[in-house]
């Protein structure tokens, strides 16, 4: 159980993960959180009707979170040459 006052984001849904995978394969590289496509996906995810998060949670599916999700997914790609992040879910 999270500590009181910590606002945790919900796990990524199947649909959100599929959108992130689509971006990963379209780009063919790992973008950072300033990449326009990462920013756009962040905006799309935060506007999905299933993502009802209390207002004021600017960390919900923000560009940094999207870039991190792409990095996590990359570790599942056999062609990825980087290192896996220990203890981080995909």
Each residue's pLDDT, cut to its tens digit, for the chain (90 residues) gives 445 555 677 889 999 999 999 999 999 888 999 999 999 999 999 888 766 665 566 778 899 999 999 999 998 888 887 765 555 554
What lies within 8 Å, CB to CB, of 63 at 6+ separation is: 33, 34, 38, 39, 42
In a domain? residue 14: no
In a domain? residue 88: no
Cα gap 35→55, rounded to integer Å: 25
In a domain? residue 6: no
Cα gap 69→66, rounded to integer Å: 5
For the chain, the domain total comes to 1
In a domain? residue 52: yes
Cα gap 8→60, rounded to integer Å: 9
Cα gap 15→17, rounded to integer Å: 5
In a domain? residue 51: yes
Integer CA distances (angstroms), 66 to 1, 40, 52, 73, in order = 24, 10, 17, 11
| Domain around 30 | 22-74
Q: Indicate the pTM of the whole model.
A: 0.77
In a domain? residue 62: yes
In a domain? residue 82: no
In a domain? residue 80: no
């Amino acid at each position: 159980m999270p500590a009181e006052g910590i606002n945790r984001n919900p796990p990524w849904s199947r649909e959100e993960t599929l959108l992130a995978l689509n971006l990963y394969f379209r780009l063919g590289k790992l973008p950072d959180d300033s990449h326009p496509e990462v920013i756009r996906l962040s905006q799309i995810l935060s506007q999905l009707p299933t993502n009802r998060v209390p207002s004021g949670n600017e960390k919900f599916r923000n560009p940094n979170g999207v870039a991190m999700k792409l990095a996590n997914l990359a570790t599942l790609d056999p062609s990825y040459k980087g290192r896996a992040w220990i203890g981080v879910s995909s």
